[in-house]
Structure 1
Amino acid sequence: MKSWSNLVVGGNLPDDFTKLVHERGCLILRNVVSEEQAVSWETSLKDYTQRHPGVGGHPHHRPAAWNVFWTKAQMQMRTHPRVLEAMRCVSRLWHLSDPTIPIDLDSQVIYPDRIRIRYPSNDPGQFPLDPHMDSGAIERWEDEENRKNYEAIFEGNWQDWDAWSADHRVKAQSDLYRTGTACSVWRSLQGWLSLSNTQTGEGTLRVLPSLKLSMAYIMLRPLFHTGEYNDSLPTFPGATPGQTQFFPTVEGHPDLDIKRAIVGIPPVRPGDYVFWHCDLVHGVDPTNPGLVDSSVSYNACNPLTPYNIESVLTTREAFQKGDVPIDFTRSHGTWEREYDHEDCGAKVENILTKEGLQAMGLERLDTEEEGLTQGQKEVREMANRKLGL
């Protein structure tokens, strides 16, 4: 945890704090936006879902995760100057060994995601989501480029594994089986902006805050000989081809001690921003025993890469139509579409900043900015060209 006002020096996190985040794989930035602004956005989102319950969500009978992507509040959140500054700041937790690699950690692309409003309830079926990792399942082993991200672990040097090297994240495939439900963008850090006062355990995030050790165990687990063994069959506990998430379990990963190792995050207030590494095991509380709703707007950190440029193309098209983003079309089904609503927020006037327009693929990126690396310049030129800007 760190107060935003005491945090950033020259756009970077302090060295001691960075070291801690690198070890644990998660962080909370306090007061990224004012509490008043965040509460206003929550009120607006609740009003929208009450007026348009037909948009649906999960679970179907009484949604906690709502199928809304283009409300005015969401557009303002994603393009707010302090939100974009926070995303740029945490993006710099990553690094490259070669400045010619086409990644721009200082530029973001918008990935339109849903909102979560978990009402107080002791029903464990309210928002079922077991501990897991996103960004693919079997792909971490099967895809050659993705596998390179864990090379040190496979070579037996897990202590030397660098979870924050972006070198091989550029071309890594996280959806080899084209399921239609996978995330079509590389989220270097997943994240959400808090819209409510939520205590630990009140329907909020749980994480396993030991990034290197947990990933070393998970990636090497298929090589362990436990119980009955058949070397003619590929066995990857928790990873199923065609699934877009990896699920560690007590039975499949006994030494992970998942029930004790995963812990609830500290209390959050409206305006706090929570981030976690794309390889961090995380889940949610089974219930919300609190007295108020636990509300967040999902908004991940997505640096500019060739892979993410393709996502911007489909995001921009969905925005211009006010339609469901491509990653959610299959799960959205026959629920109402936002373009049918007079108050659909997919409008340029709801984008608050120039950087927000750029992140939406609506304005050119500056390729002559002073201090750009060769890789940054190349990927910005690529984005402008593919986006027709």
Structure 2
Amino acid sequence: MVEPMIRTLGDTRIPADVSAAISTTKNALRAQLCSPGDLAEVFAEVEDAMRTEVASVVAERDAGWAVIPVVRFADIAAGTVPGGTREAISRRGCAVVRGTFPRARAEAWDAELAEYLAENRFAETYRGPADDAFAGLASSQPQIYPVYWSRPQMQARQDDNMVLVRSFLNSFWRHESEGRSWFDPNRDTAYPDRIRRRQPGSGSLGLSAHTDSGSVERWLLPAYQRVFRHVFDGRWRDYDPWDGAYRTEVNEFPSTVMCSAFRTFQGWTALSEMRPTDGVLQLLPIPSAMAYLLLRALQPDLAEDDLCGAANGQSLPVSEKHHEVLLPALSVIPAVEPGDTVWWHGDLVHAVADGSNPDRWGNVMYIPASPHCAKNAAYARACGQAFLAGASPGDFAAEDYEVNWVGRATVDDLNRTGRAQLGLDEA
């Protein structure tokens, strides 16, 4: 694997000069592909494959077919998910799970969250975003709030239905490969995340297309180079976006937007009704598109220190300027009701559409799937200590709004699963 110029900070290696590291690594990765001609040939093949996949998504969408697969929680619980649905989730890398929670329970959580915020005067004390995760995106005004430890959030994370859904989703991944077991698909760890609350009539500029869990790291880190070894060796057809190999060994460069856990799926739980015209989540349902993104940044039309606009400490942008082949496939999720959950592969390109919800709230709790492995367990234990103190989790800016809040969840609100997810049952 390529070894860029680096220095060490704890267990994470940071380029001493990011621009120089990018230039050095790009040249090394190109050499790994043998010659400029080989790179051009491989990229042309990947681009043609993406054009075919994008055309398929657009044709199915225009025909009125569901390009975002939908599965009933009842079928997951009964083990009766149709084979065609499983195949669609594997191909598209995303799913809406109908009825993960009863509607009445989700609406009660929404009301309790509103009361929690009001009682603790969040609107009067909120200071605005404390990080620049989305600073590199053309549109970047999500209404996402740094609240982590409310009772509704804790109850949803530890609920048996949520555990079952996440186990179902993890089953799409190869958790054993390269002669190793990378994670336990049937055991959860906690990755406490935030909430979104969009008032009726509130306009939003949403978020431009991007991916999370690493920007420049996807090229610079040796562990990520191993994840994408087939792409960088020119054997892109062998790349399997569902192979967990080496993903649990990736440690991002420290920042307020890093992800210290391996998330098989990002996800959220709907607390209100949302319609496709409300300015909601859009997904690019092609998990193999990461191969295109990686090789696109090695093309000769870019400056040597440019990875298609990727910047350390920010989400990886996917833009018309560099990735116009992909963007026609960006598709809005179907209408959701309170209690539905929405999930997308950790590498999937996604966005939030501009728009407004004239007479509806647009509220969600962000809850991903982060299966048990040494990396995830270590982060979860740190989150357990943050929970006890009411502090912000380590991957997020240290805003610590909830330290002295009334009504914050306590250990007494956790069941056995909730305690285990946060490492609080460990000696």
Q: Of residues 311, 320, 324 in structure 1, which corresponds to 2:388?
A: 320
| Residues 64 and 119, structure 1, Cα contact 8 Å, conserved in 2 | no
The aligned amino acid for 1:23 is: R
Residues of 1 paired with 2:216 and 2:279: CA distance? 29
Are the structure 2 counterparts of residues 50 and 115 from structure 1 closer, same or farther at C-alpha, using a change threshold of 3 Å? same
Once the two structures are superposed, the pairs formed by residues 40-59 of structure 1 within 5 Å of their partners are: 40-52=108-120, 53=122, 54=124, 56=126, 58=128
Backbone CA RMSD of aligned residues = 2.2
Q: Of residues 119, 131, 148 in structure 2, which corresponds to 1:69?
A: 148
Are the structure 2 counterparts of residues 359 and 166 from structure 1 closer, same or farther at C-alpha, using a change threshold of 3 Å? same
Pair 1:348 & 2:417 matched? no
Identity, in percent, stands at 28
Q: TM-score normalized by structure 2?
A: 0.76
The aligned amino acid for 1:282 is: H
The aligned amino acid for 1:170 is: T
Pair 1:89 & 2:168 matched? yes
Residues of 2 paired with 1:301 and 1:81: CA distance? 14
Residues of 2 paired with 1:207 and 1:58: CA distance? 26
The aligned amino acid for 1:117 is: R
What SS does the aligned partner of 1:327 have? coil
Residues of 2 paired with 1:221 and 1:252: CA distance? 8
Q: Which residue of 2 aligns with 1:24?
A: 92
Q: Which residue of 1 aligns with 2:46?
A: none
Are the structure 2 counterparts of residues 149 and 298 from structure 1 closer, same or farther at C-alpha, using a change threshold of 3 Å? same
Residues of 2 paired with 1:190 and 1:68: CA distance? 18
Once the two structures are superposed, the pairs formed by residues 77-116 of structure 1 within 5 Å of their partners are: 77-95=156-174, 96-97=176-177, 100-116=180-196
Range with bigger deviation, 148-157 or 34-43: 148-157
Q: Of residues 186, 192, 197 in structure 1, which corresponds to 2:268?
A: 192
Q: Which residue of 1 aligns with 2:71?
A: 2
Q: Which residue of 1 aligns with 2:258?
A: 182
Deviation sequence 1:88-145 (CA, Å, 0-9, x none): 11111111225642521111111111110112346344xx421110001011111111
Once the two structures are superposed, the pairs formed by residues 1-389 of structure 1 within 5 Å of their partners are: 1-8=70-77, 10=79, 14-52=82-120, 53=122, 54=124, 56=126, 58=128, 64-95=143-174, 96-97=176-177, 100-121=180-201, 123-125=203-205, 128-173=206-251, 175-176=252-253, 178-212=254-288, 214-226=289-301, 233-240=304-311, 242-256=312-326, 258=327, 260-330=328-398, 332=399, 337-345=401-409, 347-351=410-414, 353-363=415-425, 387=426, 389=427
Post-superposition shift, 1:297?
Answer: 0.3
What SS does the aligned partner of 2:209 have? coil
| Residues 302 and 308, structure 1, Cα contact 8 Å, conserved in 2 | yes
Residues of 2 paired with 1:321 and 1:59: CA distance? 21
What SS does the aligned partner of 2:259 have? coil
Post-superposition shift, 1:13?
Answer: 5.2
Deviation sequence 1:205-243 (CA, Å, 0-9, x none): 11111121x2221111022233xx65xx23310312x22
Are the structure 2 counterparts of residues 104 and 55 from structure 1 closer, same or farther at C-alpha, using a change threshold of 3 Å? farther
What SS does the aligned partner of 1:326 have? coil
Deviation sequence 1:59-101 (CA, Å, 0-9, x none): 69x9832221111111111111111111111111111225642
Are the structure 2 counterparts of residues 55 and 306 from structure 1 closer, same or farther at C-alpha, using a change threshold of 3 Å? farther
Count of residues in Structure 1 that have an aligned counterpart in Structure 2: 345
Q: TM-score normalized by structure 1?
A: 0.83
| Residues 2 and 28, structure 1, Cα contact 8 Å, conserved in 2 | yes
Post-superposition shift, 1:148?
Answer: 1.7
What SS does the aligned partner of 2:276 have? coil
Residues of 2 paired with 1:280 and 1:340: CA distance? 37
What SS does the aligned partner of 2:357 have? coil
Q: Which residue of 1 aligns with 2:14?
A: none
Residues of 1 paired with 2:353 and 2:245: CA distance? 34
Unaligned 5+ runs, structure 1? 364-386
What SS does the aligned partner of 1:7 have? helix
Residues of 2 paired with 1:276 and 1:270: CA distance? 18
Residues of 2 paired with 1:130 and 1:341: CA distance? 33
| Residues 121 and 287, structure 1, Cα contact 8 Å, conserved in 2 | no
Post-superposition shift, 1:55?
Answer: 5.3
Are the structure 2 counterparts of residues 9 and 167 from structure 1 closer, same or farther at C-alpha, using a change threshold of 3 Å? farther
Unaligned 5+ runs, structure 2? 1-69, 131-140
Residues of 1 paired with 2:366 and 2:401: CA distance? 19
The aligned amino acid for 1:192 is: W
Post-superposition shift, 1:14?
Answer: 4.6
Answer 1 or 2: which has greater strand percent. 2
